[in-house]
Amino acid sequence: MTITDRRKFILEQTRIHPVPHAPSISLHLADESVDLWRMGEEELEELGIPSPFWAFAWAGGQALARYILDNPEVVQGKRILDFASGSGLVAIAAMKAGAASAIAADIDTFASDAALINAAQNHVTIKVTAEDLLESKLDGYDLICCGDVFYDPDMTSKVLSWLDANQRAEPIPVLVGDPQRSYFPTSRLKHLQTYEIPVQRELEDNETKKTSVYAFV
């Protein structure tokens, strides 16, 4: 069986929770009360569902959301790209802080639907795209936000090459939120703020994660 109604699946397999480090925003997230919480990779594959990163509030995204809400001048009146957006948390935070527009970009179409559902939950309007932006040049944005993107060597290499290429073409400011996962690049990043982010022990093997926001330079 393959899931054909993504929106219905998302609504059935999530519950509305305030984001721990940005409680003014609520998201549809997986928890112990839904089947999605217990599904393994094989079961997800049978249903045609990629790993549901959109169903969790990851530390990097929470840090970026908090930073944006606390420093609204960073996004006010600007066109924001929330890259590898998952739940759409950062795009939603940007709109709540006064951005002119925000696009949640994620190659997972379930993430696109989840981001739109979450935006409506928070009474903001965003756009989504499932285009693989790593294969394209960027224009039309004033700020790129990247949360939790340095989780494996291949993704890290692709993201850094993409950001470098776009910086050479037409520099666009980049904010990065990351708890310094295994492949976190130690260079090219200027530290801006560090938070202790509440996270789910089942995902992060801890109840909090020290997570920082950086500017890509």
Q: Is the pLDDT of residue 70 over 70?
A: yes
Rounded CA gap, 101 and 18, in Å? Answer: 23
How high does pLDDT run on average in the chain?
A: 93
Of residues 109 and 46, more confidence is placed in 109
Query: Minimal CA–CA distance to 56: which of 81, 82, 80, 37?
Result: 37
| 145 within 8 A of 181, measured Cβ to Cβ | no
Q: Which amino acid is at 140?
A: G
Q: Is the pTM of this model over 0.85?
A: yes
What is the tens place of the pLDDT at every residue in 35-46?
998 888 888 888
Rounded CA gap, 72 and 69, in Å? Answer: 6
Joined together, the tokens standing for residue 136 give 């394209």
- The pLDDT-based confidence of 206 (bands split at 50, 70, 90) is confident
Phi, psi of 147 (to 5 degrees): -110, 130
Task: Please report the pLDDT score of residue 4 as a whole number.
Answer: 79
Q: Is the pLDDT of residue 138 over 90?
A: no
